[in-house]
Structure 1
Amino acid sequence: MRKRLPRVSTQKTSARERLLNAAANLFYNNGIAATGIDSIIKKAKVAKMSLYNNFSSKDDLVQTYINKRHSEWLDLYRNRLKKSNIPRERVLAVFDVYLDHAAFEYERGFRGCGILNAAAELPAKSRGREAVRKHKDEVEAILQMHLLEYPSMTQEKSESIAEHLSFLLEGAMARAGLEGSSEKIIHAKKLATHMLETL
Structure 2
Amino acid sequence: MSARGSARAKLLDAAAARFYAHGVAGTGIDVITADAGVAKMSLYNNFRSKAELVAAYLERRQQEFLDLHQQRLAALPADAGPGVRVLAVFDAYLEHAEGAADFRGCGLLNAAGELPAGDPGRATVARQKAEVEGLLREALAPREDADALAEHLSLLLEGAMVRGGLDGDPDRLRRARAMAAALVGAE
TM norm. shorter chain > 0.5: yes
Q: Given the alignment of the two structures, is residue 162 of structure 1 paired with residue 142 of structure 2, yes or no?
A: no
Instruction: Give the unaligned 5+ runs of structure 1.
Output: 1-10
What corresponds to 1:75 in structure 2?
Answer: 67
What's the offset of the Cα at 1:105? 4.0
State how far apart, in whole Å, the 2-side matches of 1:116 and 1:176 are: 12
Q: Given the alignment of the two structures, is residue 87 of structure 1 paired with residue 93 of structure 2, yes or no?
A: no
Runs of 4+ in 1 over 6 A off after TM superposition: none
SS at match of 1:14: helix
Relative to structure 1, the CA distance from residue 105 to residue 119 in structure 2 (aligned partners, 3 Å threshold; closer, same or farther) is: closer
State how far apart, in whole Å, the 1-side matches of 2:38 and 2:68 are: 30
Q: What per-residue deviation string (whole Å, max 9, x for no partner) do you get for residues 151-172 of structure 1?
A: xx22xx2111000000100111
What's the offset of the Cα at 1:182? 1.4
TM-score by length of 2: 0.93
What corresponds to 2:139 in structure 1?
Answer: 146
SS at match of 2:176: helix
Percent sequence identity over aligned pairs: 51
Aligned counterpart in structure 2 of residue 193 of structure 1, from 158, 181, 184: 181
What's the offset of the Cα at 1:126? 1.3
What's the offset of the Cα at 1:88? 1.2
Q: Given the alignment of the two structures, is residue 40 of structure 1 paired with residue 32 of structure 2, yes or no?
A: yes
State how far apart, in whole Å, the 1-side matches of 2:40 and 2:185 are: 55
Instruction: Give the unaligned 5+ runs of structure 2.
Output: none
What corresponds to 1:103 in structure 2?
Answer: 98
What's the offset of the Cα at 1:86? 2.3
What corresponds to 1:3 in structure 2?
Answer: none
Aligned residues: 180
What corresponds to 1:7 in structure 2?
Answer: none
State how far apart, in whole Å, the 2-side matches of 1:161 and 1:86 are: 15
RMSD, aligned α-carbons: 1.4
TM-score by length of 1: 0.87
State how far apart, in whole Å, the 2-side matches of 1:125 and 1:138 are: 20
What corresponds to 1:121 in structure 2?
Answer: 114
What's the offset of the Cα at 1:189? 0.7
Relative to structure 1, the CA distance from residue 159 to residue 24 in structure 2 (aligned partners, 3 Å threshold; closer, same or farther) is: same
Relative to structure 1, the CA distance from residue 144 to residue 105 in structure 2 (aligned partners, 3 Å threshold; closer, same or farther) is: closer
